[in-house]
Amino acid sequence: MFLFYRCLLLAHIFSLKLDWREARLYASYLVEQSKWSRTIYSYQQAVIMLMNDDLNDIERQTVERLMRDAPKHKQRIAGKSLPMEKFNCKKVARYFAQNDYLCLPAVELMFVWNTFKVLGKNYQLADSICRLIERQMEQLAHRNVTDIYELDNQALCLLLRGACYRQMKQPFLALQ
């Protein structure tokens, strides 16, 4: 059990540091070892892998397999499904609807899991994540794709940037 929590913590820490290769390593341990929610951990590993721009064919196939398998493991506890599993399943559907694309999925996952609060304690981490969000916003502005999720992707970037500015103690920029 201790190893499980250690892997979970290290996956989050390396994600905050934008070290996607190391975060993937610990996320893969969670997928292999977890008996709690394979949906959550499969999705987490897939989105961490998606943050790398230089995926080879085998890694792309792994991401596709993880995304396809994630909804299959959805559980019901006392007749209810877990909200985070529902969120992940909707994101998996969006991934396939956008031709194997998600906008900053690991950063969004960090926001959902409240790990952005850690950014307030380390300005360099917050700044690096903010720069990543800015680059993504520039890429979205130059994309020629017009799909039904384009405005949602832009809104997600604005939300993440505002949350990042808030943790950097810049409330005026966060409100903009």
Residue by residue, DSSP assigns 85-105 as HHHHHHHHHHHHHTTS--SSH
Q: Please give the pLDDT value at position 91.
A: 95
How far is CA 173 from each of CA 4, 74, 127, 144, 150, rounded to the nearest angstrom?
A: 38, 39, 13, 28, 23
How far is CA 31 from each of CA 5, 12, 157, 170, rounded to the nearest angstrom?
A: 13, 14, 28, 37
Q: The pTM is what?
A: 0.89
Both structure tokens of 138: 């520039």
Q: Please give the pLDDT value at position 43.
A: 93
Residue by residue, DSSP assigns 9-75 as HHHHHHHHTT-HHHHHHHHHHHHHH-SS-HHHHHHHHHHHHHT-S---HHHHHHHHHHHHHGGGG--
- pLDDT tens, N- to C-terminus, the chain (176 residues): 567 788 888 998 999 999 999 999 999 998 888 777 888 999 999 999 999 988 899 999 999 999 999 988 777 777 777 888 899 999 999 999 998 999 999 999 999 988 888 888 888 888 999 999 999 999 988 877 677 888 999 999 999 999 998 888 877 666 66
